[in-house]
Every structure is written in C-alpha cells, then in structure tokens.
A and B are shown apart, each in its own frame.
Chain A
C-alpha cells in the first residue's frame, strides 16, 4: 500500500482513515516521530522516550478497531502519549534522584569538538531552554510541548488535555513567564 503522509493522517478523523484503507503500519510511520519527540521533550531522556513511544503504539494497536470514528486520530495518539510521558517522566525523575545529581546530565547531547563557536552557542541556548522546559511542572510542560513542539492549536490542546481552552491559554502564558524566570536565573 502507498505510504500515507503524516500530515494527511493528522487532519483526518479515524473513520476517514479506515475508509481510505490506512493500516496500523501507516499510522506508526506517520506519527512515530511526533510521539517520540513529545516524549523526549517531556521526559528529557531518549531511552524513556523510546519506551513511551512503544507503549503508546502498543496501546493504540489494541484499541485501534474500537476507537471512536469521529475523533481525530492524532489527538487520540497524543492524549495517550501525554499520559504515558507524564508517568515515565516521574519514573525518570525518581531514578535520577535515587542515582544522584552526577548522572542528571547524561541525557544532554554533547557538542562535537569541531563545531563552530556560533553553532555551539546556539546549541547551548537550545539545551538551556529544553532543560528549563523539562523542569516545568506537568501542568505547564504539557501545553508548552503540545503548542511549541507538536504545533497544536489552543482548541486541540484543550481537547488533548481535557482542560478548558481559556485555562490552556493562561497556562501557556504562565509557563512562558516561568521559563523566562528559570532562564534568567541560570544565565
């Protein structure tokens, strides 16, 4: 079967996806990066993100045929991913606390030795922002990642998180203020 682009899958409701003969394999290849990225930004740990991705698609596979036809598939997958990433993130935090602070930096990618200075600075700035996002409480981290990584609208975030739209808006603004405070403190 011809591979279906992630973008077209993202906008279609489940019934339409099934009607077009899209298989579970297409769903996995269409959304794998997005689910993995969300998990990575939520947990800050590559291995944990891999585990979360596997679990999300395992759960999705089991429920794929029973899923509500009118609901967008992408939002459903992201809902599962958010829940899994939150619980995995807590497990990772517990583990890091248990192992001690010296292992906390393991997840950050090390810059290559031949990298130009400007790029190295850019990379460092990105890492600082990622660390600050990963350190936000779940309440704020979830809408930030859904908005600025998954590029969801406020309505879609409200649907995924089952929070009112206005609440999501306020939480995003508060999260950005918290991030600024954290970045200024770490500068």
Chain B
C-alpha cells in the first residue's frame, strides 16, 4: 500500500498474476469446434421451426383480433341507438330521483336559509370586530 490512500499497483499486479499451478488444462480445440459445429448444424432446423411457429402464432393472433373487431362492430350495429339512449336516461333519472326527493323536502331549503343567515351574521360581526380593533 502507498500513502495516497490506494493499493500499490505493483502489489496488485503481483497478486493477480496467474501462478504456475493455476494454469488451466489445454482446451481441446477439436471438441470446441465440434460443439460449435453441432450447434450451428442444429440452429438451421431450429430457426426454421421457430420461424414457422412464430408465423402460425402471428396468424392466429391476427385472426383472433379480426374476429374480435368484427364481433364488437356487429354488436354495436345490432343495438338500436334510440332505445339504448332511453334506457340510459331512465337509469340516470332513477338515480337522480332519490336526490330530488331529499332536495324537495321542506326542511332542506329552511336549513339552507338558516345556514346562510347564520353565516352572514357571523361574517358581519367578525368584520365589525376587526374594524373596531
């Protein structure tokens, strides 16, 4: 180690050097070549089968997509737009009816008016107090 706060380069080189007893056994180039060739020979049929499978799957996906689009289009075309709109409006009206019933109770406008009056007076007196302070 040196004084710069880092490990000495010579020590690193010496430590990382490959020792005589660490040297690997010779690679058998013939085996390596045979392995590479066998995979190369295999890869062509694999590529063909893979391409074929991919093509079939792609065609199936496109066919399914087309059928789905046609089905949705047929369903939309088969529905009468006026009757569908009436049904939707009716459902909305049913939901709103509950709100209207509550809103038309006499207690509601009276409560609202009372709230408004109380709020008005509160704000008015608060303003007066701030002005007088």
| Residue numbers in B under 8 Å from A49 (CB-CB) | 24
Cα–Cα, bound, A137→B26 (Å): 30
Check if B6 sits within 8 Å of A180, measured CB to CB: yes
| Residue numbers in A under 8 Å from B35 (CB-CB) | 58
Cα–Cα, bound, A25→B33 (Å): 10
- Given A24-B33, A58-B35: A145 and B7 within 8 A (CB)? no
Q: Interface range on chain A: under 10, 10 to 19, 20 to 34, or 35 or more?
A: 35 or more
**Interface check B124, CB cutoff 8 A:** no
Query: A147-186: which have CB < 8 Å to B?
Result: 148-149, 151, 173, 176-177, 179-180, 183
**Interface check B94, CB cutoff 8 A:** no
Cα–Cα, bound, A28→B26 (Å): 9
Tell me the smallest distance from the CB of A161 to a CB of chain B, in Å.
Answer: 17
Number of A-B contacts (CB under 8 A): 82
**Interface check A126, CB cutoff 8 A:** yes
**Interface check A82, CB cutoff 8 A:** no
Check if B27 sits within 8 Å of A54, measured CB to CB: yes
Query: B11-30: which have CB < 8 Å to A?
Result: 11-18, 21-24, 26-27, 29
Cα–Cα, bound, A135→B115 (Å): 73
Query: A1-27: which have CB < 8 Å to B?
Result: 24-25
Check if B32 sits within 8 Å of A28, measured CB to CB: yes
Cα–Cα, bound, A129→B8 (Å): 11
Tell me the smallest distance from the CB of B18 to a CB of chain A, in Å.
Answer: 4
Check if B15 sits within 8 Å of A129, measured CB to CB: yes
- Given A61-B36, A130-B15, A144-B12: A183 and B1 within 8 A (CB)? yes
- Given A176-B7, A179-B12: A37 and B21 within 8 A (CB)? no
Identify the closest chain A residue to B35 (Cβ). A58
Cα–Cα, bound, A62→B41 (Å): 12
Check if A61 sits within 8 Å of B7, measured CB to CB: no
Check if B6 sits within 8 Å of A177, measured CB to CB: yes
Enumerate 19 A-B pairs (CB-CB under 8 Å) in ascending A order: A24-B33, A32-B24, A33-B18, A37-B22, A46-B22, A49-B24, A50-B24, A53-B24, A58-B36, A61-B33, A62-B36, A129-B11, A133-B12, A133-B15, A149-B13, A149-B18, A179-B12, A180-B1, A183-B1
